[in-house]
Amino acid sequence: MIKSKSIKKRRRIALQGKKGNGSVKWNSAIHIVAHLFNLEHYHWSQSPEAEGLVAALSKLGDTPNETYLNPIRTFHTNTITELLTTIAGITGLLISLALILIMTSSTEFIRQVSYELFWYTHHVFIIFFIGLAIHGAGRIVRGQTPESLLLHNISFCRDHLEEWQARCPAPQFSGKEPSAWKWVLGPVVLYACERIIRFWRFQQEVIITKVVSHPSGVLELCMKKRDFKMAPGQYVLIQCPSISTLEWHPFTLTSAPQEDFFSVHIRAAGDWTEALCKAFGAEGQPLKEPWNLPRWEPISFLCIKVSTR
């Protein structure tokens, strides 16, 4: 009952993760398309055909004492080149590529065929978050300064361009303060704490007390770890350095909380689990009666490292 509750919770988290991914995908697409349209609009505003308020605002910044609003300063330029010479452009491109890699390698098909490809590619999230944190640092999005807004009557001045020198002081603009890092900081700090706790936990010694090779390629490992307290439905991440120092695989705890050990049942489902069964000499076991199953007890060789979840 408690375990099924935990599984439901895990499924709910997975579903929320999927919804979150969907919203990141669509919001990013809207953000990119909006910026591209804006860039083209900025460029066109510098063309000889542009007139009215748009042209007047775009020309600001050419003389001393004026600040600019339009980051594209001349019509005789290529918008892509302009884009790729800004922090926002370079980081935006990196973030988009990282997101495309993460999204495409997270599909169920890729996870089924090559979980490692999905797992390692997912780590470009580091580039994604660094890029996101500094994306606005170039302050490419500009607005009229609060001081200028006090002196410059927008509703009057926007309709009286000919009065700009006489009754309307030139509006002053500045780059908007970047804020993405504020949204990134909290989750990144939490993630870093989780990694540190995991690192600290996996340094602790694990003793394998019993190994049972069940029929149908299932390996049961009973383990002990100092101060380890388990909760029903919990899973542990297991690493076997002799197989791979990078791979950590999750397995649900199958022992009861009152027992003085904790156990997992591992089904040989692919490369890593098969190698683990082989490491314990349990690969290709013919079906046996339960009382004839091989047991090793107690074993204390440290093939594995465990990090709790």
Ligand X SMILES: Cc1cc2nc3c(=O)[nH]c(=O)nc-3n(C[C@H](O)[C@H](O)[C@H](O)COP(=O)(O)OP(=O)(O)OC[C@H]3O[C@@H](n4cnc5c(N)ncnc54)[C@H](O)[C@@H]3O)c2cc1C
Binding ligand X (rule: CB under 6 A), the pick from 44, 68, 75, 115 is 115
b/e sequence 182-213, b meaning 16+ C-beta within 10 Å = eebeeebeeeeeeeeeeeebbeeebebbbbbb
Binding ligand X (rule: CB under 6 A), the pick from 233, 252, 279, 293 is 252
Candidate ranges 38-46, 51-59, 109-117, 169-177; the one touching ligand X (CB under 6 A): 109-117
What residue type is 155 in one-letter code? S
| Choice between 69 and 221, CB closer to ligand X | 221
Candidate ranges 46-54, 158-166, 178-186, 268-276; the one touching ligand X (CB under 6 A): 268-276
Interface with ligand X, residue 255, by CB under 6 A: no
The tokens for 82 are 């302009």
Candidate ranges 17-25, 137-145, 167-175, 263-271; the one touching ligand X (CB under 6 A): 263-271
Minimum CB separation of residue 193 from ligand X in Å reads: 21
Minimum CB separation of residue 235 from ligand X in Å reads: 4
The tokens for 203 are 């340094």
Task: Look up tokens 């074993």; give the residue.
Answer: 299
Interface with ligand X, residue 112, by CB under 6 A: yes
Phi, psi of 142 (to 5 degrees): -115, 160
Q: How far apart are alpha carbons 32 and 36 in whole angstroms?
A: 6
Neighbours of 309 (CB within 10 A): 14
Interface with ligand X, residue 235, by CB under 6 A: yes
DSSP 194: H
Burial of 164 (0-12, 13-18, 19+ CB in 10 A): middle
Binding ligand X (rule: CB under 6 A), the pick from 69, 211, 240, 266 is 266
Interface with ligand X, residue 35, by CB under 6 A: no
CB 158 within 8 Å of CB 52: no
CB 213 within 8 Å of CB 282: yes
Interface with ligand X, residue 271, by CB under 6 A: yes
Minimum CB separation of residue 111 from ligand X in Å reads: 4
Interface with ligand X, residue 105, by CB under 6 A: no
Burial of 89 (0-12, 13-18, 19+ CB in 10 A): buried
| Choice between 55 and 218, CB closer to ligand X | 218
User: What part of residues 272-301 is at the interface with ligand X (CB under 6 A)?
Assistant: 272-273
Interface with ligand X, residue 269, by CB under 6 A: yes
Q: Give the contact letters, 65-104, x = binds to ligand X (CB under 6 A), - = no.
A: ----------------------------------------
- Per rule CB under 6 A, count of chain residues that contact ligand X: 17
DSSP 254: -
Interface with ligand X, residue 3, by CB under 6 A: no
CB 95 within 8 Å of CB 131: yes
Sites of contact with ligand X (CB under 6 A):
111-112, 115, 235, 249-252, 264-267, 269-273
